[in-house]
Structure 1
Amino acid sequence: MSIQGKITGWPVTDGGAPATLVAALAANAAQPGSRPGFRERDFGIWREWSWPQVLDEVLSIAAGLETLGLGPGRALTVVGDNRAAIYFTMLAANALRAFPSPVYPDVPVDEFKTFVRFGEPDIALAEDQEQVDKLLDLRGRIGRPSTIIYDDPRGLAGYVEPGLIALSEVADRGRARLAAEPGLAADLVARARPDDPAVLLYSSGTTGTPKGIPLLHSNIVGGIANAEAGGYFQRGETLFAYLPTAWVGDFVFTLGAGVLLQATINIPERAETALHDLREVAPTFYLAAPRAWDAMLTRIQVGMADSTPLKRRLYDWFIPRAIELERKRLKGYRPSAVERLREAVGSFVMYGPLKDYLGLSRAERAFTGGEAMGEDTFLFFRALGIKLKQFYGQTETCALSAAQVEGSVRIDTVGRAMPGVEVRIEDSGEILIRSASVFHGYADNPEATAEALTPDGFLRTGDAGHIQDSGDLVVLGRVSELVETAQGQRFIPTFIENRLKFSPYIRNVAILGAGLEELTAIVCIDYEAAGHWAEQRSISYSSYAELSQKPEMLELVAGEIARMNELQPDGLKIRRFVNLHKDFDADDGEITRTRKLRRKVIEQTYAALVAALYDGSDEVIFDAKITYEDGREGTLRRNLVIRRV
């Protein structure tokens, strides 16, 4: 059944544009053309849905979900990786004036109840058997969800638990309703209002229990309109849907922008095939966290080290010159004719093939955000011709507040406020934001809402910063993390940590020193980059823990810290450090799912290390708690070396 051309009357903005995601979907379906709306790779073959077909699927699922009891103001728990069916179901919830509440797929069941507190979610969508098992376990603990819908039926044929139903069956029920009830399709498209929640996301929970963050259709529509007006998005983009579905970046930058700007949303087959699939898609817009860009750079460096002598010589000749030229260009330098010729030759023999290898040959708009990016990484990708830029935003602003523009790109800023966005700096140094994309308050938490929003509608971001004379915004770190040493020198640990993580050999780091005589650090090496470095030097090791304590690795990290210390005032230099025997882990509660440090947990878990860093010890014996697969707990004794820088 096709409903193209049968639907009109959806809600619109004052400018006549669709005012909800469902309305935008219907508008896309009503326009003639063969450009696909969604593409998903399955068993190596790309399956495509035109916008009319997407609308058919969404409304069929919506009509089926309504028979299961999903209705206005109710949440639909969603857990799984990027799948077309998951995106369709999230839009279907919107059509019923309900809203999806996606949860990170790797959240253990012990933490899951934290993410089903709001919106009375009694219906859940699971991608596969693994997530169904998790939801059944959750039901046994808290009594819901009573209905569990699954997309992938593999392994579920023998399940007899009540309330299990295939998504395909839900859609079939809906199709039957649409065929039997004239006008139902138009009704479903028109139901959602701009002030309805489009999605319920959760804060990172770095300082406590994650807060529920409802984003309205009007927030997402307004934020995308601002970004489009600033040139950060264009209509008809080719997008790559690989970001975690529970992150604001996926819902807004992938699904929201994809539907509102009639893009093509490409979905990889699996996380394991994402790099291969990215190369086939070659998106025009690409967003990745700094760590992902660092991983790409490491992959190139490792690949070049293993390539032919000719390729290594070409790489070693062209890349340093391209990086130096980009460094000068960002300071206003205009390349000479000889430099432009060298750049053209380099693009043909080196930069172009590298961009194609990464899948970014068409990435006209490439962004990074969430934390500071290392200058070396930033310059490398811009030197290849990928116009990488930084953006700034929070979940509470749909992640759309400020971004860099070509011609005004600097490594130490996050760019200028987007059109339609107001930025104000309080006397305390806190950054305040006001725009259509700013949320209206936390779920069932009036106290937190009152703290976050000013009476005149500005969001207190919690970040410290300042605005340069050029209008560019500089973000220093969290206001709440502004601390002092015993000598009274003020510093923000995350600012120093981000500088240290510019090193490819340091994946995570926790800076200590609040109220103390000097700064110290707990360092987690980057196993892949550090391992490759060790292998090139014939340094043998059998595990992360062993590599971290190698004298050569300690010396390498000490050198990286020493280089960073050159940028710090004397009282804020790191004097001692310890390489941890493992990386910080979200499952251990040390970092959030978005890789932000939980400082209190780290300070409590590693209290013995912290004490040793300040009592003059050269080493510390640390008993690490471990949990086996069968639930038994034990300890593993580690001897960790403490080094002075």
Structure 2
Amino acid sequence: MSTASTDRAARCAEAARGLTVPLLLHRNATEFGDLPALTALGADDDTLTWSALRDRVTHAARGLSALGLDSGDRMLINMSSRPEHWLLDLAAVHVGAIPSTVYATLSPGQLRYLAEHSGAGIVVLEGEAELARWAPILAGVPTIRHVVTVSGQGSGDGRVVTLAELESTGAAAHRADPGAFEKRWREVPPEAPVTMLYTSGTTGDPKGVVLTHRNVAHQCVLIEDTVKTPDHSRSLAYLPLAHIAERVLGIYYPLYRANHVTICPDQRQLLAALTAVRPISFFGVPRVWEKMAAGVQARIAAADERVRAAFDAASTAALESYRLRAAGSPVPPELAARVAALDEAVLRPLRTGLGLENLVWPGSGAAPIPVSTLLYLAGLGIDVFEVWGMTETTGSCTINTPEAFRTGSVGRVLPGMELRVAGDGEILVRGPLVCSGYLTAGGGVEPITDADGWLATGDVGVLDDDGFLTITDRKKELIINSGGKNISPARIESLLRAHPLIGQAVAIGDRRPYVTALIVLDEEIAPMWARGKGLPDTSIAALATDPLLHAEITGAVDAANAELSRPEQVKAFRIMPTPWTPETGELTPTLKLRRRIVAQQHAAAIDALYDTPSAT
């Protein structure tokens, strides 16, 4: 590590020292009390300032204490993204408890597992529908002492209290003894847990990742040091708070920077939210960026020849500049001037329509994003920078920046973190972002690092000579065909998903003679494409067997195969007649493939591909 890197790491460590979430909220209420903190999309009149937010956190924390929530206790939250979610999460942290948001898409059986494993004494539910869904769990899990409902009326069950009742009780307790709250939060040390997030469980039961105040404070300092954005800027929270990216970018980083968060509770409203907020930075999971790119592609394709020609000229110039910068080369002044002029005339209006004209740092992570999507977006003037990390590393661990990036890589390791690649290609990391461990069934925390502090991430990758990391696959997901060849399914799937019509793709081939694929159509783009072709039935089920669409997908497979070695090439595929969702089981709540479930649920379709290899 260079002297500059060492100095930077030391500076960041010092900036994070001693910080806790309650300390940051206290600072914001004291120094920036009148600035906006939280707004629900479309409800600007109900914006909570930092001062008002802390007052409500105070009352909710005292109310939770009255219900018996104490230091180290777990509290599950099963509700949508709304200001009350932030309020109750922060309230639990102020009494030293560990809040844990669970995905709304989980099945009753999965919810029961989390309730039993966490040993949570309090569960927060949105309203009566959630209360009814949880009724069998509440009856069968005796460790749950109380339920807080955010909306709706009270219940005949003595364990159930409304948020209004909770805050009223807490406000009265605070008036009677205002010093108790201040004393309590000041006793929360940086090494205490701040949250627990259950991993998606792509290969087995979810694991409860325990993160500390020190973890999240260090992550916030590193983001500030790496991604240059103004103080008190506006940001958009649209991912579930069970997702590590939103937890950091939607709660902890805004606390650290005293930013103004607008909450979008429904991803279908994302475009409206982006155009309302027009954020300085925006993190999109790959599917979000892919849909944006596909939407612009469709719009340009439907435009007249003059518009298409203007776009092609502007996009070509933007891409030329992008490729030079990605290679670390200077952009000639004449090219920079041409890009600026064409951007102002052609590309910026397109970005304005997406609410992205002010972006300083567009990011992507959580799964691989096709290089073709990155290049298309770069041609729009949107340089999307990939990051890599996991829940266990408090989110990002490596990052690309405008000053230093490589297309297709996930960037360089963050200051203070160490990264090395083991002999089998697995990425190992250690440093201040690595979590305390996994929650055990008995309530303890089991460390997940080896004796030297290294975390085996399960991801496989390569480091180039300039320190840029490229992820090639998951260690447990590598395909080993019947000839003994190691094949990366992620690379194949990324190339397939580069086509706008393909929403999901899974490569099959472990212990098989060749690679095949199951392909799922994009629910929005495929019907739009079909209408443009004049097809009478635009349903996904009908399109899955339509010859014209089959020919289009065949072209996409052929294009992917042209980029692959012979053993990697897809020899047969099947277009699935229904979408895959977390509810149908093939995807996790963060939209990662659950390969084991895919293999189980679609075994007959997979076997048929090997009976009829001529399907392509």
> Is the shorter-chain TM-score for this pair beyond 0.5, marking a shared fold?
yes
**1:202 to partner: Cα distance:** 0.8
| Equivalent position amino acid for 1:102 in 2 | T
Are 1:19 and 2:19 an aligned pair? yes
Question: Could you say if the C-alpha distance between residues 309 and 45 of structure 1 is closer, same or farther in structure 2, counting changes exceeding 3 Å?
Answer: farther
Name the CA distance, whole Å, in 1 between partners of 2:410 and 2:45: 36
Q: 30-39 vs 532-541, which deviates more?
A: 30-39
Between the aligned partners of 1:17 and 1:439, the Cα distance in structure 2 is 16
What is the aligned partner in structure 1 of residue 259 from structure 2? 263
Q: Could you tell me whether the CA contact under 8 Å between 1:452 and 1:461 is conserved in 2?
A: no
- 8 Å CA contact 1:238–1:263 kept in 2: the answer is yes
Q: Please, what is the CA RMSD of the aligned residues?
A: 2.4
385-394 or 337-346, which moves further after superposition? 337-346
| 1:451 positional shift | 8.7
Deviation at 1:183, TM superposition (A): 1.1
- 1:109-166 alpha-carbon deviations (Å, 9 max, x no partner): 232112223442121212233322222342134346442212222xx46x43332222
Which shows bigger deviation, 201-210 or 591-600? 591-600
- The match for 1:35 is 35
Map 1:269-418 to 2 at 5 A: 270-305=266-301, 311-312=307-308, 314-332=310-328, 334-418=330-414
CA distance in 2, matches of 1:214, 1:332: 38
Q: Deviations over 1:288-345 (max 9, x none)?
A: 1010011112222334455677645543443344334433443355444553343233
C-alpha separation between the residues in 2 aligned to 1:491 and 1:306? 39
4+ residue segments displaced more than 6 Å: 448-451
15 and 368 in structure 1: CA distance in 2 versus 1, 3 angstrom threshold: closer
Is contact 1:229-1:419 (8 Å) kept? no
CA distance in 2 between partners of 1:342 and 1:230 (Å): 29
Percent identity, please: 26
Q: Deviations over 1:268-307 (max 9, x none)?
A: 3654433212211111121110100111122223344556
- Number of the residue aligned with 2:235: 239
Matched, 1:586 2:545: no
Matched residues in 2 for 1:453 and 1:177: separation?
Answer: 43
Aligned mates of 1:375, 1:237 — CA distance in 2 = 30
1:85 paired to 2:81: no
Gaps of 5+ in 1: 1-12, 619-642
- How far did residue 469 of structure 1 move? 0.1
Structure 1 CA distance for aligned equivalents of residues 477 and 441 of structure 2: 23
Letter in 2 for 1:66: S
Q: How far apart, CA to CA, are the structure 1 residues paired with 2:275 and 2:609?
A: 46
Please give the alpha-carbon distance, in whole angstroms, between the structure 1 residues aligned to 2:382 and 2:408.
Answer: 19
- Separation in 1 of the partners of 2:430 and 2:44? 44
Alignment of 1:426 with 2:422, yes or no, is yes
2-structure distance, mates of 1:530, 1:243:
24
**Which residue number corresponds to residue 136 of structure 1?**
135
Who is 2:167 aligned against?
171
Q: Which residue number in structure 2 is paired with residue 455 of structure 1?
A: 451
In the alignment, is the contact (CA less than 8 A) between 1:463 and 1:479 conserved in 2?
yes
- The aligned counterpart of 2:476 is 480
Indicate if the aligned counterparts of 1:213 and 1:395 stay in contact, CA closer than 8 A: yes
After superposition, give the CA deviation of every residue in 1:238-283 in whole Å (9 maximum; x if it has no partner).
2111111111111112101111222211223654433212211111
Supply the distance in 1 between the matched residues of 2:143 and 2:270 (Cα, whole angstroms): 33
Partner of 1:529: 525
2:596 matched to which residue of 1?
600
- In structure 2, stretches of 5+ residues that fail to align are 1-12
Between stretches 448-457 and 340-349, larger displacement belongs to 448-457
Cα gap change, 1:203/1:268 in structure 2, threshold over 3 Å: closer, same or farther? closer
Report the 3-state secondary structure (helix = DSSP H, G, I; strand = E; otherwise coil) of the residue aligned with 2:381: coil
TM-fit CA distance, 1:215 = 0.7
How far the C-alpha of 1:56 sits from its partner, in A, is: 1.0
TM-score (norm 1): 0.88
Instruction: Sort the Cα spacing of 1:342 and 1:233 in 2 relative to 1 into closer, same or farther, 3 A.
Output: closer
In 1: Cα distance, 2:508 partner to 2:266 partner? 39
Q: How do residues 522-561 of structure 1 correspond to structure 2 at under 5 angstroms?
A: 522-561=518-557
The residue identity in structure 2 corresponding to 1:552 is: L
Equivalent in the alignment of 1:97: 96
Shift of the 218–117 alpha-carbon distance from structure 1 to 2, 3 Å rule, reads farther
Return the alpha-carbon distance in structure 2 between the equivalents of residues 183 and 142 of structure 1: 35
Residue aligning to 2:431: 435
Aligned to 2:183: 187
Equivalent position SS for 1:346: helix
For residues 16 and 513 of structure 1, the distance between their equivalents in structure 2, rounded to whole angstroms, comes to 46
Task: Give the Cα separation in 1 of the matches to 2:69 and 2:337.
Answer: 62
- Which SS does the other structure have where 1:148 is aligned? strand
1:438 aligns to what SS in structure 2?
Answer: coil
| 8 Å CA contact 1:59, 1:188 repeated in 2 | no
Distance 1:453 1:255, change over 3 A: same
| Post-superposition offset of 1:25 | 0.7
- The DSSP-based 3-state class of the residue aligned with 2:47 is strand
- Residues 244 and 250, structure 1, Cα contact 8 Å, conserved in 2: yes
Residue equivalent to 1:625: none
Distance change (3 Å), C-alpha of 1:174 and 1:450:
closer
| Pairing 1:196–2:192 present | yes
Tell me if structure 2 keeps the 8 A contact 1:219–1:437: yes
Q: Does 1:47 align with 2:46?
A: yes
Q: Aligned residue for 1:635? A: none
Larger displacement relative to structure 2 (300-309 or 118-127): 300-309
Cα 1:408–1:178 shift into 2, 3 Å: same
Instruction: Using the TM superposition, give the Cα deviation of residue 381 of structure 1 relative to its aligned residue in structure 2, in angstroms.
Output: 2.6
Query: 1:152 aligns to what SS in structure 2?
Result: coil
Length, aligned pairs only: 603
So what's the TM-score if we normalise by structure 2? 0.92
Alignment of 1:490-639 (within 5 A): 490-616=486-612
Q: What per-residue deviation string (whole Å, max 9, x for no partner) do you get for residues 474-530 of structure 1?
A: 111111223322222111222322222222221111211122211111111213222
Shift of residue 389 of structure 1? 0.4
Could you tell me which residue of structure 1 aligns to residue 209 of structure 2?
Answer: 213
Paired letter, 1:138:
I
8 A Cα contact 2:80 2:265, kept in partner: no
Counterpart code for 1:36:
P
Deviations 1:570-629 (A, max 9, x none): 1221111111112223223222112222222222222222221112376xxxxxxxxxxx
Using the alignment, how far apart are the partners of 2:44 and 2:188 within structure 1?
35
More displaced stretch, 392-401 vs 478-487:
478-487
Name which of structure 1's ranges 578-587 and 22-31 shifts more when overlaid on structure 2: 578-587
**Counterpart secondary structure, 1:183:** helix
Once the two structures are overlaid, the 10-residue window that deviates more, 213-222 or 14-23, is 14-23
Contact 1:41 1:47 survives alignment (8 Å): no
CA distance in 1, matches of 2:111, 2:256: 31
Per-residue deviation, 1:383 = 3.2
In the alignment, the residues of structure 1 paired with residue 512 and residue 270 of structure 2 have an alpha-carbon distance, to the nearest angstrom, of: 45
* Aligned equivalents of 1:596, 1:273: Cα separation in 2: 22
Kept in 2: contact 1:364–1:387 (CA 8 A):
no
Deviates more, 1:336-345 or 1:122-131: 336-345
